[in-house]
Structure 1
Amino acid sequence: MSAEDVVRALKRRGETVATAESLTAGLVTAELTSVPGSSAVVRGGLVVYATDLKHALAGVDAALLADLGAVHPEVARQLAEGARERCGATWGLGLTGVAGPDSQDGVAPGTVHIGLSGPSGSFVDTLTLGGDRHEVRARSTAAALDLLHTHLEIPDE
């Protein structure tokens, strides 16, 4: 789905979104805010590229980061929850992963975790994406928008 579809669905529902992005470094928020009228639904975004900022800005548990590293499904979940809570949004998206070309902490390039936090709880979608650094980041952005849009289309969410 496109950013326009997401913004339209959020407006229809009277809901908002915020992001906490690591590997995409603000691309999801930039895509959403490229849509005219998005200011009605986009609360904000946290770029938490550095590991310590995942804790300091988004509230990811420091022990989790120390024990499991920055690229982990639970980190994505906590990023989504942190974005939602700290920005006062209905929905939070959290992205962490390895864009490449090198592995990070033993995690292969193309590994991406997308967290979504909303009215009915939080969960994580884990992807293995091919392509170069640019393609992994672009596909991660598209996947995050698709994930949110899918949940916005579920009645009684």
Structure 2
Amino acid sequence: MTADQIAALARGHGYTVAVAESLTGGSLAAELAAADDSSEWFAGGVVAYQTRTKQRVLGVAPDCPVISAECVSTMAASLTDLMGADAVIAISGAGGPAGQAGQPPGTVVIATLVRGRESVEEHCFPGTPGQVLAAARAHALRQLAAQMRG
């Protein structure tokens, strides 16, 4: 799945897309912004890398584990309101080489929220931190496209 395919789905269905990123550090937003006619359908993104940013900007509760379905679900819902978007990706995880927040390296949680329909998936991608990030980005785009088609 490429960003240009997301662009086609967004234009075809009238979606406004946004991303809330932790693990991927803004690389999903950069990929989407480089797609065809992105100014028509891409609202933007929030990079909430630190836990306190997730809490202050995206409303994640202080006692919520930052690599969890609850966290990315909250990130997605908050971003929907913040950006006025109707197709959102939220992603958090432990890229490695060490684990984080009690999760092993490669653990990635992705939420997509499209016009009120949510999908949350947890994965464990193998490899170096760069390989984990690449796999996470690719899967996040596939997950969003599946939701946008549905």
Question: TM-score range with shorter-chain normalisation?
Answer: over 0.9
The reply to whether residue 116 of structure 1 matches residue 112 of structure 2 is yes
Q: Which amino acid aligns with 1:41?
A: W
Match of 2:102 in 1: 106
Question: Which aligned pairs between 1:63-102 and structure 2 lie closer than 5 A?
Answer: 63-64=63-64, 69-102=65-98
In structure 2, distance between residues paired with 1:117 and 1:62: 22
Map of 2:29 onto structure 1: 29
User: What is the CA distance between 1:33 and its match in structure 2?
Assistant: 0.8
Q: Deviations over 1:18-52 (max 9, x none)?
A: 11100001111111111131111110100000000
- Residue equivalent to 1:3: 3
Q: What is the aligned counterpart of 1:150 among 138, 146, 150? A: 146
- Aligned AA (1:120): G
Q: Which ranges of structure 1 fall in alignment gaps of 5 or more residues?
A: none
The root-mean-square deviation of aligned C-alpha atoms, in Å, is 1.1
Identity rate, percent: 31
Q: Distance in 1 between matches of 2:89 and 2:36?
A: 20
Maintained 8 Å contact 2:4/2:35 = yes
Whether the 8 Å contact between 1:81 and 1:116 is mirrored in structure 2 is no
Shift of 1:124: 0.7
Q: Tell whether 2:126 aligns with 1:130.
A: yes
The list of structure 1 runs, each at least 4 consecutive aligned residues, that deviate by more than 6 angstroms after superposition, is: none
Question: What CA deviation, in whole Å up to 9, does each residue of 1:111-130 have, x standing for no partner?
Answer: 00001112133231111101
Query: In the comparison of the two structures, how many residue pairs are matched?
Result: 150
For 2:118 and 2:148, how far apart are their aligned partners in 1? Answer: 14
